[in-house]
Amino acid sequence: MKVIVDFDACMSNAQCVLAAPDVFEVREDGMLYVLQEEPPESARARVENAARLCPTQAITIEK
């Protein structure tokens, strides 16, 4: 599974961090960082939830 974030659309509101903190992080600079671009299958449900919760639909999951 590959996580792709459209950083132009991202507003850094951390909805995804709340859903999958092992994959997404907003740091002190206010920017979103993807901690694991290819997270393990075990994170799939959390990552899918993050993508669904993202208010700007900035997250896509490949495969």
Partner 1 sequence: MRSVVIAGASLAGFSAAQALRKRGFDGTITVVGEEAHLPYQRPPLSKQFLCGEWDRSRLGLRIADGLKLEWLLDARAAALDPQRREVVLADGRRLPFDGLVVATGARARRPGWWVELGGVFTLRTVDDAQALRAHLASGGRKVVIVGAGFIGSEAAASLRSLGHDVTLVDIDPVPMHRVLGEDLGRACLRLHESHGVHPLFGAAVDAIVGSTSVEGVRLRDGRVIEADCVIVGVGAVPNVEWLRGSGLVLDDGVVCDSTCAALGAERVVAAGDVASWTHPHYGQLRIEHWENAIAQGDAAAATLLAAPGAGRPYAPVPFFWSDQYGCKLQLVGSPRRGDAMRVVEGAMDERRFVAVFERDSQLTGVFLFNSVHRVAAYRQTVAAAWAGLTAGAEA
Positions that interact with partner 1 (CB under 8 A) = 9, 11-15, 17-18, 21, 25-28, 30, 52-53, 55-57
Dihedral through CA 57, CA 48, CA 30, CA 5, nearest 10? -60
Q: How far is CA 44 from CA 23, 27, 58, in A?
A: 10, 23, 17
Query: Closest CB to partner 1 among 37 and 52?
Result: 52
16 binds, among ligand SF4, partner 1, none (CB under 5 to 8 A by kind): ligand SF4
Count, residues in the chain:
63
By CB under 6 A, the count of residues binding ligand SF4 is 15
